[in-house]
Amino acid sequence: MIAGLAAYGWWIAGLLLLGLEIVAPGVYFLFFGIAALVIGMNGFLMPNLGLPAEIVGFLVVSAATVLLGHRWYRARIGAGPGSLHRRTDRLVGRTGTVIEAIGPGGGRVAVEDGGWQAEGPALAAGTPVRIVGARGSVLIVEPLSGSAPDPAAT
């Protein structure tokens, strides 16, 4: 009888962890809450499993949900080009205009609604460019076809 009541403890822990997920920023408690609910369900289906086996099951299910959740979020939200953490990556392939001549020390380009530090061949202000890469917050640019580098900017 008491062994069957242990499943309620896992359900309560799971619901508390899911409640914490609502309050706390990030996605940390969700996976552990799901794991606790799964172990609580196992407690109803297999009431004689025992606490050590339930704890091991919780660790295994927690690891599985964390790995699956990480894979799912990475695919949906992404850490690839265009992610929030690397804003310059989303600009690769776009075009802009040089607003401060690019020389040996770099320059600035206007892309979309902002100005960015840029490196590339010597280019005069007003030259249209394509962003071909990024290094941190500095864009790597090259002139659009038909636009020649400015030898006077060196």
pLDDT tens-digit profile of 36-72?
A: 999 999 888 888 888 899 999 999 999 999 999 888 8
143 located within any domain: yes
Q: What is the pLDDT of residue 89?
A: 76
Q: Is 81 a domain residue?
A: no
Domain assignment present for 66: yes
Q: How far apart are CA 24 and CA 53, in angstroms?
A: 29
Of 39, 145, 141, 49, the residue nearest 97 (C-alpha) = 141
In a domain, 27, yes or no: yes
For residue 17, the SS3 value is helix
The answer to whether residues 70 and 6 belong to one domain is yes
Whether residue 108 sits in one domain with residue 148: yes
Number of domains in the chain: 2
Ramachandran area for residue 106 (φ above 0: left; ψ -120 to 50: alpha; else beta): left
Task: Inform me whether the pLDDT recorded for 154 exceeds 50.
Answer: no
